[in-house]
Structure 1
């Protein structure tokens, strides 16, 4: 994997409060980025359907292991800009 690749780390939230939980989780992701001085500050949340939402952050592949171990995302994928 290239050190310059961008990866999207994803947290899944399910249930009637999924949207609010994903929105709230994004706040903590932004705080973590600032605290750890990560090179990217791309975050967001998205509704998959009315019972499933995600929060995500994009990291450089070189930073992925440290972030993964600290924040334990549910899954990840290559980031498409």
Structure 2
């Protein structure tokens, strides 16, 4: 099984959650336009001033997605 990576975009400030929520819509649009076999995206509030949007990709597909979308960071995805 291919390892999965979680690409993460960080948003900070009083409107971080709304920004992360909106960014997820753009991630879904990208997936649709590029016809990618990705189905895990989301957004999450870490605290009232820091939220994230994320997309999970197979490790073998990470480089072109990373280069196109420029996430702030990434981590190995574990389905909790």
For structure 2, the residue ranges without an aligned partner over 5 or more in a row are: none
RMSD: 1.0
For structure 1, the residue ranges without an aligned partner over 5 or more in a row are: none
1: CA distance, partners of 2:5 / 2:40: 11
**TM-score calculated relative to the size of structure 2:** 0.95
**TM-score calculated relative to the size of structure 1:** 0.94
- Structure 2 partner of 1:32: 30
2: CA distance, partners of 1:70 / 1:25: 15
Contact 1:23 1:55 in 2 (8 A): yes
Number of aligned positions between the proteins: 79
What is the DSSP-based 3-state SS (H/G/I as helix, E as strand, rest coil) of the residue aligned with 2:45? strand
Runs of at least 4 residues of structure 1 off by over 3 A? none
- Structure 1 partner of 2:77: 79
- Structure 2 partner of 1:52: 50
